């Protein structure tokens, strides 16, 4: 608070003196030399460390408050050569007009980027910020329902891992590693100043906070990575901040753009499974090998049954497509319209969008439609108003994602791979077939996907109003009022025709949930920008308050008289099942400030501070202060750099600061009440009772401290630009659940007791390879390395989390959290091949040495294999990851090729626990035909054994490295003779996920079945496969 008070005093105290000075102005336009078109976002500065401005959409700029004198005025814009006008005379109360024409040529380090509550030229950045243009999201990529995937491989240090190939599903985003164990590790998304937060957990693989945003509306994406850049967001900045800026109208004539595309999707890889006879033979062999007395065992199938068995390819029945061109493809279509224009005083943009995408699995699809309206109005020379409003509707049909008979997290395709291939989908009476295994009814995956309704709907209304008052040439007051109003609903219906076992009686089951939500935000900032001494100062002080209210209601019932009514007849159900409802509120109050000072345009200083008060934390720690400081030295402005031609711009950066993470459940600091059920005289009644978690009044933020050093430079007259960053961060006060003694009346308490560290290096290089005549070729490469390490666990040396989806393996865990090791360490039994005839057994239980079984390392040397022999068998995080893009153009033709890669990461293929270990329990992959037998000993696949324990074996951990041809786009700019009234037009064809080089044996190595859970990354639990997409489109502007 004291720091903020000092900052406010610095901003306000010199106002009277400065206003009293007689000053002038510098104004003009910046246009493209070749076309004469206005250039937006160009930076115009007075050389020598004084004032500057950024051109608007009309190419105009105005620099106010310039003391009388003679100046050198520079104009810069990325992709254009810098132009300087010397001897510009500024007199008091007068305006000097200086116009610039910039010639397109090489790369410059002066693009304009968003930094939170302001924009700045990239050359003046003191922090680490990565930028992705809107063109990279739309023009150079296929239509997508996931905005966050546009960052994949395009921003150094930003790791984007697709949670699933299901339409509309989000991705797990990590900026400079994972910083938390239990709190949300996703970055903060801010869209036009409105946070798009997704809650307290990132473990849901279907979570996608950006699902409602139309990619065509995006102007730019800026990623704040280091403490100097993200500290302005304080308690929400520890995981990084993604700023999304949408397009706005420009003054001039109106433009109407219409775009339409159509494409089709196919599964990119297919995994063959056993035929009916092969499965029967495997099961007979597995039962025989697991019997104590093979002479008395009764085999499941007779030779006659095996000989006459049919084969039904359930994976093919589940899919709308396959890799072959003979299969039907899953279609997708999208369309967008945009109307923009305006005058000097008012500018507008209206857009509408629609997208429909069918999934490759029966029963899955995604639909989004929405409108957006942006308006900017100059009410007077000193007061302007800007408003944004978007309305979006998203509908999604999700196939059965969780199938308890084959493992939590398994989707229908995994279930199809395991269903008995000798059984027809329907019996002779037309009823769906069931498969009985050990007396259990395994669900028919085709029946589930065809009959079960799982309809998800999301409605969003997001808007804000911004008012900006220019109090003087140096002082501006800005107020923002915004809100997000949403509704999420799920309608689930399982008819009596499927044996889903979703409730007692096994007949129809119905469930509906409704989650209305409201978030409101008000932010007020006062900015001061003025020449100060030998340089210029840019000061910001602000106040922010954000509130949120969420409600939820879930209703359940069973036994409807007819399946025809699905979710529409609750009161006709035979039995009403326990339902629930609730509400959540939270608030965040903040004071923020930032001071930038440029000394002689060579030495740049930034100090940032934010104080946050959050209702989520204990009464003793509701407030915290998050400061940062940064320094940059523009070496290229030094005299000793003026007589060399190799380097253009060169800037060294150093920053340090603290940020926080408040993404936990709002009431974790309190001891709460729950619902308990009691039996009284044979009747179940409910009553309030204490929950198992004790409140903690000392609960506080997870806090991250980060040190960053970097360099930005261009060489060879701007043909090559690069940035290198190295960082070290430590996140303390990690939230962990601590067991409590039974005498306390509680089972556990959440405490701040852990810490985790991240160290890494990032490299981004952009080159102009060819720029001659009609031919142009540019490339961008970014590479990142991050090393994560658990530093402290509150006195414990390791934690074995029992998390969703791992209860089907022995020990109930797939990963371990251990001090000294990175998060994402896979935990299981290390194997060194298979036991062979004649091998010396070192175990007391000789049955564990049976030829054909896994030879498991006895880690603790006690002569037996049990849970104490588990060890780390793999790591989920890659050693290196990044992307490479190439953009070529020749006359009206353009070609964009983008590849992304990951090296050194591993994947634990949990699906092989069920369909790759020759157990014969269910159908398996065709690979098991090469299983161990006395006649086939040269193999790594164990023998058939019905009784083999379900374990995480190191043999199931595979190399997940890959190189992927992510997108390839060929475009053609239509000639004017073909347009017939249109101003411009473009046709294109885009391929997505066209090729992948990998050793991974599953559908795709880029898997994340457990969502964003940092404790269980790199798991393939039957992930919905990614698709290969071809898309054809046209865009016309009138």
Q: What is the 3-state secondary structure (H, E, C) of 72-96?
A: EEEEECCCECCEEEEEEEECCCCEE
Question: Under a CB-based contact definition with an 8 Å cutoff, are residues 337 and 373 in contact?
Answer: no
> Residue 36 is part of which domain span?
24-102
pLDDT score at 504: 52
Backbone region of residue 336 per phi and psi (left: phi > 0; alpha: psi in -120 to 50; beta: other values): beta
Section 1008-1030 average pLDDT: 82
- The pLDDT, as a whole number, for residue 568 is 74
Segment of 160-174, 233-247, 561-575 carrying the highest mean pLDDT: 233-247
815 within some domain: no
Residue 935 within a domain? yes
- pLDDT at position 569 is 74
Kindly state the average pLDDT of the residues 204-224: 73
pLDDT of residue 742 exceeding 50, the answer is yes
Residues 223/130, Cβ–Cβ less than 8 Å: yes
In a domain, 77, yes or no: yes
Contact 258, 1035 (CB under 8 A): yes
DSSP-derived secondary structure letter, 354: E
What's the full length of the chain, in residues? Answer: 1038
Q: Final residue of a domain: which of 81, 102, 123?
A: 102
**Strand order across the 218-224 sheet:** 129-133, 218-224, 241-246, 188-191, 194-195
More confident residue, 762 or 799: 762
The answer to whether residue 548 scores a pLDDT higher than 60 is yes
**Would you state the pLDDT for residue 2?**
45
Which residues are registered as beta bridge partners of 256? Answer: 339
Q: Quickly count helices (H) and strands (E) in the chain.
A: 10, 53
Residue 432 has which token pair? 């769906």
3-state secondary structure of 760: strand
**pLDDT reported for residue 728:** 97
Tell me how far apart the terminal alpha carbons of the chain are, to the nearest angstrom: 53
Does 207 score more than 60 pLDDT? no
pLDDT at 16: 40
Instruction: Compute the chain's Rg from CA coordinates.
Output: 31
Q: What's the pLDDT score for residue 774?
A: 78
Among residues 85, 102, 119, the one where a domain terminates is 102
- Enter the tokens of residue 718: 């701007």
Residue 787 burial (C-beta neighbours within 10 Å; 0-12, 13-18, 19+): middle
DSSP single-letter state for residue 134: H
C-alpha 380/C-alpha 91 separation (Å) is 25
pLDDT at 714 over 80: yes
The answer to whether the beta carbons of residues 195 and 117 sit under 8 Å apart is no
In a domain, 902, yes or no: yes
The answer to whether position 953 is within a domain reads yes
CA distance 101 to 37: 10
Name the helix (H) or strand (E) containing 136.
helix 134-137
Q: Which among 12, 66, 923 has a CA at the least distance from the CA of 530?
A: 66
* Predicted local distance difference test score (pLDDT) of residue 375: 94
Asked if pLDDT for residue 143 goes beyond 70, the answer is no
Rounded Cα gap, residues 424 and 403, in angstroms: 20
Where does a domain end: 102, 122, 139? Answer: 102
Give whichever of 405-419, 561-575, 695-709 has the largest mean pLDDT: 695-709
Q: What was the pLDDT predicted at 422?
A: 93
Residue ranges of E strands in 320-382: 330-342, 346-358, 365-380
- Which comes out higher in pLDDT, residue 622 or 773? 622
- Average pLDDT for residues 55-68, to the nearest whole number? 82
Express each pLDDT in 923-975 by its tens digit. Answer: 999 999 999 999 999 999 999 999 898 899 999 999 999 999 999 999 998 88
**pLDDT band at residue 48, thresholds of 50, 70 and 90?**
low
Name 525's Cβ contacts closer than 8 Å, sequence gap at least 6. Answer: 117, 477, 478, 540, 541, 542, 592
Rounded to whole angstroms, how far apart are CA atoms 85 and 70? 11
pLDDT for res 410: 42
What's residue 78's pLDDT? Answer: 59
For a pLDDT cut of 70, what percent of the chain falls above it?
88
Task: For residue 20, name the pLDDT band (cuts at 50, 70, 90).
Answer: very low
Give the residue from 615, 623, 625 showing the smallest Cα distance to 669. 615
Are 956 and 913 in contact, with CB atoms under 8 Å apart?
A: yes
Least confident of 57-61, 254-258, 417-421, 641-645: 57-61
SS3 107: coil
Q: Are 397 and 388 in contact (CB under 8 A)?
A: no
- Beta carbons of 90 and 72 less than 8 angstroms apart: no
When mean pLDDT is compared across 134-138, 544-548, 838-842, 984-988, the lowest value belongs to 134-138
What's the pLDDT score for residue 524? 95
Q: Lowest-confidence range among 265-269, 282-286, 420-424, 825-829?
A: 265-269
Q: How far is CA 385 from CA 209, 347, 546, in A?
A: 28, 11, 21
Tell me the C-alpha distance between 593 and 163, whole Å. Answer: 37
Asked whether the beta carbons of 822 and 790 are under 8 A apart, the reply is yes
DSSP state of 938: S
pLDDT band at residue 506, thresholds of 50, 70 and 90? low
In 3-state terms, what secondary structure has residue 312? coil
Task: Tell me whether residue 440 is in a domain.
Answer: no
The string of pLDDT tens digits covering residues 890-926 is: 888 989 999 999 999 999 998 898 888 999 888 999 9
- In a domain, residue 643? The reply is no
- Residue whose C-alpha is closest to residue 268's, from 197, 324, 220, 349: 324
What's the confidence (pLDDT) of residue 201?
Answer: 43
pLDDT of residue 500: 61
| pLDDT over threshold 60, residue 367 | yes
Does the pLDDT of residue 693 top 90, yes or no? no
Predicted pLDDT of residue 433:
86
- The 3-state DSSP class for residue 111 equals coil
Q: Round to whole Å and give the CA distance between 54 and 76.
A: 10
State yes or no: pLDDT of 366 exceeds 80. yes
Q: For residue 860, is pLDDT > 70?
A: yes
The stretch 53-75 carries a mean pLDDT of 83
- 1 has pLDDT over 50: no
User: For 70-90, what is the mean pLDDT?
Assistant: 80
What pLDDT does 594 receive?
A: 95
Per-residue pLDDT at 593 exceeds 60: yes
Q: What's the rounded Cα separation, in Å, for the pair 259 and 253?
A: 20
Decide if 647 contacts 715 (C-beta within 8 A): yes
CA separation for the pair 1037, 1025 (Å, rounded): 37
Name the more confident of 569 and 703.
Answer: 703
- Asked if the structure places residue 999 within a domain, the reply is yes
The residue-averaged pLDDT of 117-121 equals 82
Q: Taking 80 as the threshold, does the pLDDT of residue 404 lie above it?
A: no
**CA 260 distance to own-chain centroid:** 26
Task: Please report the pLDDT score of residue 327 as a whole number.
Answer: 59
Q: Torsions phi, psi of 215, nearest 5?
A: -60, -30
Q: Which two tokens stand for residue 189?
A: 């998304």
Contact 140, 967 (CB under 8 A): yes
Banded pLDDT at 870 (limits 50, 70, 90) = very high
**CATH classification of the domain holding 94:** 2.60.40.1120
Q: How many domains does the structure of the chain reveal? A: 2
Q: Across residues 549-554, what is the average pLDDT?
A: 91
pLDDT-derived band at 445, boundaries 50, 70, 90: confident
Confidence of residue 507 (pLDDT cuts 50, 70, 90): confident
pLDDT of residue 449: 84
Report CA torsion sign: 1009, 1015, 1018, 1021: negative
- Total-model pTM: 0.84
CA–centroid distance for 529 within its chain:
36
């Amino acid at each position: 608070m004291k720091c903020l008070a000092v900052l406010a005093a610095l901003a306000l105290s010199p106002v009277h003196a400065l206003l009293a000075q007689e000053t002038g102005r510098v104004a003009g336009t910046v246009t493209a030399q070749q076309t004469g078109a206005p250039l937006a976002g160009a930076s115009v500065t007075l050389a020598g460390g004084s004032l500057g401005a950024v051109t608007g959409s009309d190419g105009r700029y105005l620099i106010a408050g310039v003391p009388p004198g003679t100046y050198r005025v520079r104009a810069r814009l990325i992709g254009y050569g810098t132009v300087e006008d010397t001897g510009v005379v500024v007199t008091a109360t007068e305006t000097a007009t200086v116009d610039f024409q910039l010639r397109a040529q090489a790369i410059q380090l002066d693009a304009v980027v968003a930094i939170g509550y302001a924009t700045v030229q990239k050359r003046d950045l003191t922090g680490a910020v990565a930028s992705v243009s809107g063109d990279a999201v739309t023009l150079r990529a296929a239509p997508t329902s996931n905005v966050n995937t546009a960052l994949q491989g395009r921003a150094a240090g930003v790791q984007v891992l697709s949670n699933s190939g299901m339409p509309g599903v989000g991705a797990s985003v990590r900026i400079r590693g994972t910083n938390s164990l239990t709190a949300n590790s996703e970055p903060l998304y801010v869209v036009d100043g409105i946070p798009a937060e997704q809650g307290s957990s990132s473990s849901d693989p279907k979570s996608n906070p950006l699902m409602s945003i139309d990619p065509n509306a995006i102007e730019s994406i800026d990623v704040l990575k280091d403490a100097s850049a993200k500290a302005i967001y304080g308690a929400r900045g520890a995981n990084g901040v993604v700023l999304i800026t949408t397009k706005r109208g420009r003054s001039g004539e109106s433009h109407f753009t219409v775009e339409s595309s159509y494409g089709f999707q196919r599964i990119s890889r297919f995994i063959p499974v056993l035929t009916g006879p092969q499965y029967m033979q495997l099961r007979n062999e597995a039962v025989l090998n697991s019997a104590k007395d093979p002479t008395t065992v009764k085999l499941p199938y007779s030779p006659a049954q095996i000989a006459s068995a049919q084969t039904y390819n359930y994976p093919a029945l589940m899919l709308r497509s396959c890799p072959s061109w003979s299969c039907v493809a899953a279609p997708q279509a999208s369309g967008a319209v945009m109307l923009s224009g305006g005058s000097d005083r008012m500018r507008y943009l209206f857009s509408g969008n629609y997208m429909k995408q069918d999934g490759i699995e029966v029963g899955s699809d995604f639909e989004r439609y929405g409108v957006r309206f942006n308006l900017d109005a100059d009410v007077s020379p000193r007061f302007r108003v800007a408003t944004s409003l978007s309305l979006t509707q998203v509908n999604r049909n999700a196939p059965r994602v969780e199938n308890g008979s084959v493992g939590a997290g398994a989707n229908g395709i995994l279930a199809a791979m395991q269903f008995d291939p000798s059984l027809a989908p329907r019996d002779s009476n037309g009823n769906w077939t069931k498969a009985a295994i050990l007396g259990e009814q395994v669900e028919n995956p085709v029946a589930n996907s065809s009959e079960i309704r799982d309809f998800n709907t999301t409605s969003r209304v997001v808007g804000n109003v911004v008012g900006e008052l220019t109090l003087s040439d140096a002082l501006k007051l800005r107020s923002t009022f915004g809100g997000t109003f949403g509704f999420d609903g799920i309608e689930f219906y399982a008819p009596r025709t499927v044996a889903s076992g979703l409730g007692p009686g096994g007949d129809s089951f119905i469930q509906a949930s409704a989650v209305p939500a409201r978030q409101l935000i008000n932010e007020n900032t006062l900015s001061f920008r003025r020449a100060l001494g030998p340089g210029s100062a840019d000061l910001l002080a602000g106040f922010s308050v954000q509130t949120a209210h969420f409600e939820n209601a879930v209703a359940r019932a069973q036994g409807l008289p007819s399946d025809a009514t699905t979710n529409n007849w609750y009161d006709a159900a035979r039995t009403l099942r326990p339902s629930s409802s609730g509400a959540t509120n939270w608030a965040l109050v903040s004071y923020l400030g930032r001071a930038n000072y440029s000394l002689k345009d060579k030495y740049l200083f930034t100090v940032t501070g934010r104080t946050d008060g959050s209702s989520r934390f204990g009464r003793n720690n509701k407030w915290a202060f998050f400061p940062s400081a940064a320094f940059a030295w523009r070496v290229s402005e030094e005299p000793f750099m003026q007589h060399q031609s190799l380097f253009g711009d060169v800037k060294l950066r150093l920053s340090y600061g603290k940020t926080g993470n408040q993404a936990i459940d709002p009431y974790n600091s309190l001891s709460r009440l729950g619902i308990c059920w009691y039996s009284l005289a044979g009747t179940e009644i409910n009553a309030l009772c204490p929950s198992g978690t004790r409140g903690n009044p000392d609960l506080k933020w997870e806090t991250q401290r980060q040190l960053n050093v970097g360099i930005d430079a261009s060489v060879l007259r701007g043909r090559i630009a690069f940035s290198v960053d190295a960082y070290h961060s430590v996140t303390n006060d990690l939230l962990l659940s601590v067991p409590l003694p039974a005498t306390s009346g509680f089972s556990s308490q959440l405490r701040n007791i852990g810490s985790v560290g991240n160290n890494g290096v990032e490299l981004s290089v952009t080159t102009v390879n060819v720029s001659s005549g009609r031919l142009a070729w540019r490339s961008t490469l970014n590479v990142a390395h991050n090393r994560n390490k658990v530093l402290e666990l509150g006195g414990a040396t390791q934690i074995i989390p029992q998390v969703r989806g791992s209860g089907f393996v022995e020990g109930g865990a797939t990963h371990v959290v251990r001090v000294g090791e990175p998060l994402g360490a896979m935990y299981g039994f290390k194997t060194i091949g298979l036991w062979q005839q004649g091998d010396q057994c070192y175990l007391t239980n000789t049955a564990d040495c049976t030829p054909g079984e896994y030879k498991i390392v006895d880690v603790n040397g006690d002569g037996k294999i049990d849970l104490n022999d588990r060890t780390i068998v793999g790591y989920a995080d890659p050693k290196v990851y990044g992307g490479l893009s190439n953009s070529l153009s020749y006359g009206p033709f353009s070609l964009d090729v983008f590849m992304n890669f990951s090296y050194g990461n591993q994947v634990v293929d949990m699906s092989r626990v069920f369909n790759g270990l020759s157990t014969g329990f269910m159908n398996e992959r065709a690979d098991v035909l090469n299983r161990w037998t006395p006649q086939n000993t040269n193999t790594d696949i164990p023998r058939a054994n019905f009784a083999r324990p379900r374990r995480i074996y190191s043999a199931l951990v595979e190399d997940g490295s890959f190189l992927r041809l992510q997108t390839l786009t060929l475009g053609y700019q239509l000639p004017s003779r073909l347009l017939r009234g249109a101003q411009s037009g473009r046709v294109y064809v885009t391929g997505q996920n066209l090729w992948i080089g990998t050793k991974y044996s599953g559908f795709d190595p880029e898997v994340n079945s457990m969502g964003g859970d940092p404790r269980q990354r790199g798991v393939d639990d039957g992930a919905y496969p990614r698709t290969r997409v071809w898309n054809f489109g046209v865009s016309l502007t009138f």
